[in-house]
């Protein structure tokens, strides 16, 4: 019985780590690094794209258009209203095989460069975003 429990715990931990979202890149927002530590598919919120979140609670929403361009919105920590940064460059978005509660994980890349009320620049890769 103890052996079975150990194997079950190891499988659950391994599955959880394997399905964790991965965000890598070198984004800067207003000249300072934007270090996204997690990502989420836009499907549950009703848009095609991803949310990139940092440890301070800020969120960059990348919505992919039919032309493959990213329309970006910035949600400051604790605020539900977003600031539109506009169309910031090409992004890719691909559904992965894994699915949880009817939502497929997504992966892709974006090369962003836009300025206005905020300046955003850099490259980001994301995968296993649920």
Residue 74 within a domain: yes
User: Between the CA of residue 53 and those of 2, 8, 124, 130, what are the distances in Å?
Assistant: 39, 31, 12, 13
Segment 35-75, tens digit of pLDDT: 999 999 999 999 999 999 999 999 999 999 999 999 999 99
- Any domain includes 7: no
Task: Name beta bridge partners: 39.
Answer: 52
Residue indicated by tokens 């991803």? 50
How many structural domains comprise the chain? 1
Residue 82, domain member (yes or no): yes
Count of CB atoms situated within 10 Å of the CB of 98? 14
Q: Determine, yes or no, domain membership for 11.
A: no
Residue 32 lies in a domain: yes
pTM for this predicted structure = 0.84
In a domain, 44, yes or no: yes
- For residue 122, is it within any domain? yes
What average pLDDT does this structure show over 3-12?
42
Judge whether 119 lies within some domain: yes
- Domain coverage including residue 29: 21-129
Please report the pLDDT score of residue 40 as a whole number. Answer: 97
């Amino acid at each position: 019985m103890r052996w079975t429990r150990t194997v079950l715990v190891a499988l659950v931990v391994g599955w959880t780590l394997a399905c964790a979202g991965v965000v890598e890149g070198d984004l800067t927002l207003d000249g300072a690094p934007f270090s996204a530590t997690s990502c989420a598919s836009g499907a549950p919120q009703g848009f095609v794209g991803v949310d990139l979140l940092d440890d301070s609670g800020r969120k960059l929403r990348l919505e992919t258009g039919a032309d493959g361009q990213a329309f970006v919105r910035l949600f400051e920590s604790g605020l539900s209203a977003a600031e539109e940064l506009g169309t910031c460059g090409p992004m890719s978005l691909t559904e992965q095989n894994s699915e949880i509660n009817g939502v497929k994980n997504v992966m892709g890349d974006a090369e962003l460069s836009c300025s206005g009320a905020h300046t955003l620049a850099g490259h980001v890769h994301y995968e296993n975003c649920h």
